[in-house]
């Protein structure tokens, strides 16, 4: 089967295999969705604590806001079922990787005004560069026909030249290729 699907799809297929003889397909779908949503909320909290992310779905105390978190999870589920993350996430075999790619892209979008910001100070440039390195751990490079409209083009490729001049330390450049 892995001849026709990305290998990360196999992990999702294997996840439902134990239920095939126990549940109907609609029940399996509901179970998978329920598990996905629970795992996503946990992955969001873990990533926010680990990397100090501050998405809109957290309140000022770092607690998930139930309604916002549910809408975020539903949005993510809908994109997952359409195959979006199979295209844009490296090894989309677990919810944590999907959440990380999303959260890093959101942080980059916030810091770069969705890729429109032109000037950055050194502190901003260093944080953006750190986020780009993190983004590269989770996001695919995108095919040439998908690149132009991608988050990679908007938040990485277009931003790197703008922050490059600010990425120096004691007169030495800390900029390295992120490809």
pLDDT at 171: 53
The verdict on residue 22 lying in a domain is yes
**Whole-number Cα distances in Å, 15 to 75, 133, 141:** 21, 30, 27
* Domain assignment of residue 121, yes or no: yes
Beta strand spans in the chain (E): 168-169, 172-173
Domain count, the chain: 1
Q: Is 2 a member of any domain?
A: no
Whether pLDDT at 51 is above 80:
yes
Give the distance, in angstroms, between the CA of residue 162 and the centroid of all CA atoms in the same chain.
Answer: 22
Higher pLDDT, 175 or 138: 138
Asked if residue 37 belongs to a domain, the reply is: yes
Residue 179 lies in a domain: no
pLDDT, tens digit (0-9, with 9 covering 90-100), for 5-48: 567 778 888 988 999 999 999 999 999 999 999 999 899 889 88
**Residue 16 forms part of a structural domain:** yes
pLDDT at 110: 93
Assess if residue 1 is contained within a domain. Answer: no
Q: Is the pTM here over 0.85, yes or no?
A: no
Question: In this predicted model, what pLDDT tens digit does every residue of 108-157 receive, in sequence order?
Answer: 999 999 999 999 999 999 999 999 999 999 998 888 888 898 999 999 99
Beta-bridge partner residues of 64: 58
On whether residue 162 sits in a domain, the answer given is: yes
Using alpha carbons, select from 128, 127, 150 the residue that is nearest to residue 139: 150
Boundaries of domain holding 68: 7-173
Q: Quick one: pLDDT at residue 145?
A: 86
Q: How many CB atoms lie within 10 A of CB 100?
A: 25
Could you read off the pLDDT of 65-122 as tens digits, one per residue?
A: 888 888 888 898 898 888 888 778 888 888 999 999 999 999 999 999 999 999 999 9
| DSSP secondary structure letters along 26-76 | HHHHHHHHHHHHHHHHHHHHHHHHHH----TTB-TTSPBPHHHHHHHHHHH
pLDDT (0 to 100) of residue 2: 46
């Amino acid at each position: 089967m892995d001849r026709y699907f990305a290998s990360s799809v196999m992990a999702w297929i294997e996840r439902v295999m134990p239920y095939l003889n126990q549940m109907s397909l609609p029940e399996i779908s509901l179970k998978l969705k329920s598990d996905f949503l629970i795992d996503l909320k946990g992955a969001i909290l873990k990533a926010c604590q680990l990397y100090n992310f501050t998405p809109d779905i957290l309140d000022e105390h770092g607690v998930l806001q139930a309604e916002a978190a549910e809408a975020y999870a539903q949005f993510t589920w809908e994109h997952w079922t359409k195959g979006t993350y199979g295209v844009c996430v490296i090894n989309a075999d677990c919810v944590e990787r999907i959440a990380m790619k999303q959260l890093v892209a959101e942080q980059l979008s916030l810091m770069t005004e969705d890729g429109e910001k032109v000037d950055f100070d050194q502190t901003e440039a260093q944080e953006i560069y750190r986020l780009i390195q993190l983004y590269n751990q989770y996001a695919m490079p995108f095919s040439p026909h998908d690149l132009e409209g991608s988050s990679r083009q908007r938040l990485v490729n277009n931003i790197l030249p703008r922050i490059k001049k600010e990425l120096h330390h004691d007169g030495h450049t800390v900029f390295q290729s992120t490809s």
